[in-house]
Copies of this chain bind each other. A is one copy, B any other.
Amino acid sequence: MSNAKTANRLIYLPLGGAGEIGMNAYVYGYGPAGKERLIVVDLGVTFPDMDGTPGVDLILPDISWLIARRNQIDGIFITHAHEDHVGAVGHCWQQLGAPVYARPFTANIARRKLEEHGGSPNVVKVVDPYPHVISCGPFKVSYLPISHSIPESAGLLIDTPDGRLVHTGDFKIDENPVVGDPWNAALWEEVAKPGVKALICDSTNVFSENEGRSESTLAPAITEMMQAATGMVVATTFASNVARLQTLATAAKAAGRSVVLLGRAMRAMVDAAQKEGLLIDFPAVISVEDALSVPRQNLMLLVTGSQGERRAASAQLAQGSYLGMKLKEGDTFLFSSKTIPGNERGVIKIMNQLSELGVDVVDDAGGKYHVSGHANRPDLVRMHQIIKAQVLIPMHGEHRHLREHAKLAEASGMTGIVAVNGMMLDLSGNRPKVAEYIETGRTYLDGSVQVGALDGVVRDRIRMALNGHMIVTLIIDEEGDMLGDPWVEIMGLPEVGRNAVPLVDVVEEDLAQFIGRAHAKTLADDDKLEKEIKMIARKSAQGEIGKKPEVTVIISRLA
């Protein structure tokens, strides 16, 4: 009996979110090694950028490990409705097949995603919060309401045969979050009482030294700003930040401004929040058509695109107009948001376009118009102190955040352990240890196709972007002789190089010379011929334009 019991193990395996901000996906398991029953916490996405993932539409966690263990999965628990926690549910569910648990608002969003991908909304089970318990294989899971920047966020209480785990999800400590559950210290104290084996805890803001501020502190400054503005006011924030939408809309109303929603995500989110009864006294929204006849000092546009997204409402307004709405001198544009690192260029571009239109831009430089949705360093310490777990496992953060969070835990006497994506921890016994390293990574949604990050597709795109592309075509006749000369086409390369003659002429000449010298044996061997031609074409281009392009060789053999 005791042997059988020691054969079981309790594991934690992050597949996304541990070593990055975004794409959260965590696995807990219990059972004999390799045969654990599994639950998944969150299935999020992250977003592509031109630097590393040009042309990609969305980045999903690589869930091959889970797919191979599909029959071991008992449930998928979504903590809240942000894209980096729920965004991959639609794309991945068919491959996993387990029931999805979520609180009502999150379930609403998850169901929309399943439907978009032809899945059934019925796989999503709406759950009540703690003390309600969901029995799921060897796990008993309860949703612990917590404040964050989207309604109905929750941490998870996970009771296992080997002890109690607390997974915070994303959170902040906010006793007055405007919309959604306030921070409830008593709840977390109660949960901590029986003793907690491990606290798996949000790490994104571990470098923010000051205590976090409440969402409710923003209303006075925002209202004042909207009252003082003389022209139209445009405000942008994440559409999912429902509390902020409420704050902005209430301020608009107080300033005698009608609210217009611009951008698909903005309208969808207000719609979902209203359906779930989360917005209270949200002022009536007017249509764009109606807005065109309202004086601009009586309008507040609530728009998507706070991160400078190219096709969002903000970007289009900055370029001149969106659905007939135009900005002009004297209008005010409020970024009620923080620019996520990496998005600066896009945001700054919009700010400059607005400046050219004579629009005054107000951003969060002074901290008056935005607060973070995540726990800062002192708030993390408070959570540590309440939960008093034996072990702190930092989750959701880049490596530097996880490491700093583990150090913070060690400083207050806990064991802190950094586990990055793919590092499976065995939490059985008194000290967690690394059980295995799982091959993990990212899957790119590219158009309608899922592509592995290591398939080379995106690597080739980056190479073409950096080096340009040269195509060499050759026709070889039935006798194995060249028919005509090699033909060169270029894309993304200068047409004329240092000799003031067309680049393609120079390369064609060099290739023709090579062919003239080449043995029949070389001409007969496609691989060898291709290799030689690439080398000559690259060298020739290097001499002419100082750059070695990507070369594709197309050999047509007439048969």
B465 touches A461 (CB 8 A): yes
Chain B residue at minimum C-beta to C-beta distance from A491: B460
Stretch at the interface among A192-200, A447-455, A521-529: A447-455
Closest 9 CB pairs of A and B: A448-B546, A447-B546, A447-B547, A465-B465, A461-B492, A54-B465, A355-B400, A341-B344, A460-B492
B552 touches A494 (CB 8 A): no
Query: Does A411 belong to the interface (CB within 8 Å)?
Result: no
How far, in Å, is A545 (CB) from chain B's closest CB?
A: 5
Chain B residue at minimum C-beta to C-beta distance from A467: B55
Query: Does A519 belong to the interface (CB within 8 Å)?
Result: no
B residues less than 8 Å from A496 (CB atoms) = 449
B473 touches A469 (CB 8 A): no
B550 touches A491 (CB 8 A): yes
B residues less than 8 Å from A355 (CB atoms) = 398-400, 403
How far, in Å, is A433 (CB) from chain B's closest CB?
A: 19
Q: How far is the CA of A469 from the CA of B556 in the complex (A)?
A: 19
For A, the interface residue count at a CB cutoff of 8 angstroms equals 65
Chain B residue at minimum C-beta to C-beta distance from A348: B341
B494 touches A352 (CB 8 A): no
Q: Tell me the dominant secondary structure on chain A's binding face.
A: mixed
Q: How far is the CA of A403 from the CA of B471 in the complex (A)?
A: 47
B residues less than 8 Å from A345 (CB atoms) = 49, 51, 341-342
Query: Does A186 belong to the interface (CB within 8 Å)?
Result: no
- Beyond A55-B492, A345-B342, A550-B491, whether A464 also contacts B467 by CB under 8 A is no
B residues less than 8 Å from A489 (CB atoms) = 552, 554
B residues less than 8 Å from A354 (CB atoms) = 400
B residues less than 8 Å from A545 (CB atoms) = 446-449
Partner among B50, B455, B457, B498 whose Cβ is within 8 Å of the Cβ of A50:
B50
Query: Does A356 belong to the interface (CB within 8 Å)?
Result: yes
Query: Does A365 belong to the interface (CB within 8 Å)?
Result: yes
- Beyond A460-B491, A545-B447, whether A348 also contacts B398 by CB under 8 A is yes
Query: Does A378 belong to the interface (CB within 8 Å)?
Result: no
B residues less than 8 Å from A471 (CB atoms) = 471, 552, 554
Query: Does A484 belong to the interface (CB within 8 Å)?
Result: yes
A446 touches B494 (CB 8 A): yes
A501-559 interface (Cβ within 8 A of B): 542, 545-547, 550, 552, 554, 556, 558-559
Q: How far is the CA of A365 from the CA of B492 in the complex (A)?
A: 40
| Besides the known contacts A342-B348, A448-B545, A457-B492, 16 further A-B residue pairs in the complex with CB atoms under 8 A apart | A54-B462, A352-B398, A355-B398, A355-B400, A355-B403, A356-B399, A446-B494, A451-B494, A461-B492, A464-B464, A464-B465, A473-B473, A484-B559, A487-B556, A489-B554, A491-B552
Query: Does A468 belong to the interface (CB within 8 Å)?
Result: yes
Chain B residue at minimum C-beta to C-beta distance from A404: B355
How far, in Å, is A137 (CB) from chain B's closest CB?
A: 33
A423-439 interface (Cβ within 8 A of B): none
